[in-house]
A and B are shown apart, each in its own frame.
Chain A
């Protein structure tokens, strides 16, 4: 399966600021996704990162708050903008379809964000 490098692993940020999370995959993948997970809770899909075009956002998530880029088939970023304490969570990228094959969905190690 794919190997994902997600950075940063954790950060403590001031409210009103922005944080960009990076997800680098060791090979080209078909699909990339961004999830949010509160500790002890399930995963909530934020958006699907589309290569070379605007991301597809889920209900309750908007581009102005969570801008996403995917310039190629191996890299994506998620920015959490104008942060508030409610944005404190774990953010995970996920990929599927390494080299066009299917090995299940692979997750990055996550970014634990605390907004103070």
Chain B
């Protein structure tokens, strides 16, 4: 079945440093999604990328989807203590509709646990 690999597993940074997590799928994805889980919390949807080579920004967060639609990255510029948590990528296990969205089950990466030291 589909596998989604995510690295690194852990990342410790000083506040103000940048952070990047990488996601690779064993199959071509119709879209890729990113979620953030704060310590003790539940995953919260951040963004979805659909198009090959797509880049989206949310304030200090930059998300990229690879040209082959098999890899993705999340980059945080100048981390803050509020960025602490686990970041997961997730790919749909199957096809999506014409708009690139899917309603089926997701395969999650292992997650990257980000610690920010003040």
Tell me the nearest residue of chain A to B101, going by C-beta.
Answer: A102
Tally of A interface residues using CB under 8 Å? 23
Residues of B within 8 Å of A107, CB to CB, are 42-44
Residues of B within 8 Å of A58, CB to CB, are 105
A41 to B111, CA, bound (A): 7
Residues of A within 8 Å of B113, CB to CB, are 40
B103 & A106 in contact (Cβ 8 Å cutoff)? no
Quick one: CB contact mask for B98-118 with A, threshold 8 Å, 1 for yes?
Answer: 010101111111110100000
B43 & A43 in contact (Cβ 8 Å cutoff)? yes
Q: With both chains docked as a complex, state the minimum distance between the C-beta of B11 and any C-beta of chain A, in angstroms.
A: 14
B-side interface size class: 20 to 34
Task: Indicate whether B24 reaches chain A with its CB closer than 8 angstroms.
Answer: no
Contacts A42-B110, A43-B88, A105-B33 given; does A97 touch B44 at CB 8 Å = no
Task: Indicate whether A16 reaches chain B with its CB closer than 8 angstroms.
Answer: no
A1 & B45 in contact (Cβ 8 Å cutoff)? yes
B45 & A105 in contact (Cβ 8 Å cutoff)? yes
Q: Which of A9-55 contact B (CB under 8 A)?
A: 30-31, 33, 40-43, 45, 48
Q: Which of A76-104 contact B (CB under 8 A)?
A: 92, 96-97, 102-104
Chain A positions near chain B (C-beta within 8 angstroms): 1, 30-31, 33, 40-43, 45, 48, 58, 92, 96-97, 102-110
Chain B positions near chain A (C-beta within 8 angstroms): 33, 35, 41-45, 48, 88, 90, 99, 101, 103-111, 113
